[in-house]
Amino acid sequence: MNTLIRHIKHYIKYGFLGPFLQYISNEKNLNKLKKNHNIKRIFVMQTPQHGNLGDHGIAYAQKDFLLKNINDFEYIEIPFEEVFKKARTIKKMITSEDLIVIHGGGNIGDMYLYEELTRRFIVSYFKNVRIISFPQTISFSNTLLGKIALLGSKRVYRKNKNFFIVARESKSYEIMKKEFGEEKVLMTPDIVLSLNKRGENDRKGIVTCLRNDVEQKIDNSFKNDLLKHLKEKYQNVKVSDTRVDYRIFISQRNEELQIIWETFRNAEVVLTDRLHGMIFCAITGTPCIVFNNFNHKIEYSYKNWLSHLDYIKFTQSDNIDYIIDLIESLKCKGNLNLTEGINSGNFSTLIRLINNLAYSEKIKEIS
């Protein structure tokens, strides 16, 4: 019943009231969006201002990736809370030469329905503009509500011939092709894996970065026992997280990310059940033990992109002695080869798609 009520509230707020805001929003302070006719623009929409550093890592990496690959475009970021308010103004000035990028992540589904409804609005409202949804995980529940939500998304995404979507692991890729059409789906790693944040470090102690929310899969009793054993065995154990309990605005993003990257970079081993806990370890060259979460995003991201890294270990074991042995084996690695990471060629299909949409008059097939 609570889930049903939550879904109804989200449909009312983001499915009906949200789009209505475009007609009553104040256009004050939107002058910076006015068209400079000599410059094409990328509107990056639905970026975070909440406290999830994984999402902020995505926003940081998206900007870095886009400016490196199409640097003759002006970059304009529209946070999630401003999408409906600014949509009407943007629509008045946007042209077919501009691009819209929708923030990547793991929210195509019914768990974070407010995100999914906002994405649907963008795709349907800006139907004459070329749109790319950056690397995402799809996860609709097998409930009646989940099935209804999937049907709604399928209808919107299939209808827009200018919309393309990127999966960040193979399970999502297969689901998206089936539901949204093969012609509009491609696969790359999570965009944060395009970053390299390795550097000087002073590795001391163990860092934990464990969930305490609906996406958690590991048992609370196991988590508590594990923390107890870690603190008994190791002198320096730091409890950390990639989620903070305060809002992070665009101007604060870089500083907050540098803090968490520095924490990871100076750990001997990180234990995490967060996707971006694992990814932050990969990009900082930090030994890591990864536990699964409630869906497929961690397991398949590891299998597809990170299983070759001998400093990242994925496990579904709840045997604490085994986990301690893993920690000891990773501690022995010391400072790692700073060039060891993922293959940048894994993003080549996304680069081709961006350049195709940015510079071609006619959209070519994805390949």
pLDDT in tens, the chain (367 residues): 555 565 566 556 555 555 555 455 445 445 555 656 578 899 999 999 999 999 999 999 999 999 999 878 999 999 999 999 999 999 999 998 999 999 999 999 999 999 999 999 999 999 999 999 999 999 999 999 999 999 999 999 999 999 999 999 999 999 999 999 999 999 999 999 999 999 888 999 999 999 988 888 999 999 999 999 999 999 999 999 999 999 999 999 999 999 999 999 999 999 999 999 999 999 999 999 999 998 999 999 999 999 999 999 999 999 999 999 999 999 977 555 545 667 778 999 999 999 999 887 666 555 5
Residue 366 lies in a domain: no
H/E stretch holding 133: strand 130-139
Q: What is the DSSP string of 186-244?
A: EE---GGGG----------SEEEE---STTB-S-HHHHHHHHHHHHHH-S-EEEE-SB-
Mark whether 336 and 349 lie in a shared domain. no
Q: 8 near 16, Cβ under 8 Å?
A: no
Using CA atoms, how far apart are residues 163 and 193, in angstroms rounded to an integer? 23
The C-alpha angle with vertex 130 and arms to 126 and 179, in degrees rounded to 5, equals: 85
Residue 367 lies in a domain: no
For the stretch 57-69, what's the b/e string if a residue is b when 16 or more beta carbons lie within 10 angstroms of its beta carbon?
bbbbbbbebbeeb
Mark whether 333 and 230 lie in a shared domain. yes
Mark whether 186 and 227 lie in a shared domain. no
Mark whether 175 and 322 lie in a shared domain. no
The CATH number of the domain where 159 resides is what?
3.40.50
Residues 6+ apart with CB under 8 A from 161: none
Mark whether 188 and 291 lie in a shared domain. no
Using CA atoms, how far apart are residues 212 and 127, in angstroms rounded to an integer? 38
Mark whether 278 and 265 lie in a shared domain. yes
pLDDT tens across 125-177, in order? 999 999 999 999 999 999 999 999 999 999 999 999 999 999 999 999 999 99
Number of domains in the chain: 2
The one-letter code for the residue type at 255 is E
Mark whether 67 and 168 lie in a shared domain. yes
Mark whether 75 and 113 lie in a shared domain. yes
The CATH number of the domain where 235 resides is what?
3.40.50.2000
Mark whether 233 and 123 lie in a shared domain. no
Is 92 in a helix, a strand, or coil?
helix
Using CA atoms, how far apart are residues 230 and 94, in angstroms rounded to an integer? 54
Token pair for 179: 């539901």
Residue 252 lies in a domain: yes
Using CA atoms, how far apart are residues 353 and 367, in angstroms rounded to an integer? 8
CA-based torsion, 320, 265, 341, 175: positive or negative:
positive
Mark whether 150 and 222 lie in a shared domain. no
Residue 259 lies in a domain: yes
Mark whether 154 and 288 lie in a shared domain. no
Q: 73 near 42, Cβ under 8 Å?
A: yes
Helix extents (H) in 13-137: 18-24, 53-69, 83-93, 113-125
Boundaries of domain holding 279: 206-340
What's the pTM value of the predicted model, to 2 decimals? 0.91
